[in-house]
Amino acid sequence: MKLFPVISIRWFFGGKGANQAVAAGRCGANITFLACLGNDDIGQSAKTQLITDKIDTDCIELMMMKPRVLR
């Protein structure tokens, strides 16, 4: 097995419900997104992206979770 060094990592926010909410929000619809996100950099970034896309995030709960592990 040949290994390659990682040059950079980029995170993309998404998922069926989130993608639909973002598309509708960008079209001017009034959207409220309900979710629980981890209270880490990824959760904060996801919430910030929703706010940027004009989505109401009052019903998003940032939860204390165990550290994230990538596999």
Q: What is the DSSP string of 35-48?
A: EEEESSHHHHHHHH
Q: Which amino acid is at 65?
A: M
Task: Read off the pLDDT of each residue in 12-25 and give the average, rounded to a whole number.
Answer: 89
pLDDT value, residue 66? 59
pTM as predicted = 0.71
Average pLDDT over residues 36-56: 89
Give percent of the chain above pLDDT 70: 90
Is residue 71 over pLDDT 60?
A: no
Pull the structure tokens for residue 4: 């390659």
Average model confidence (pLDDT) across the chain: 86
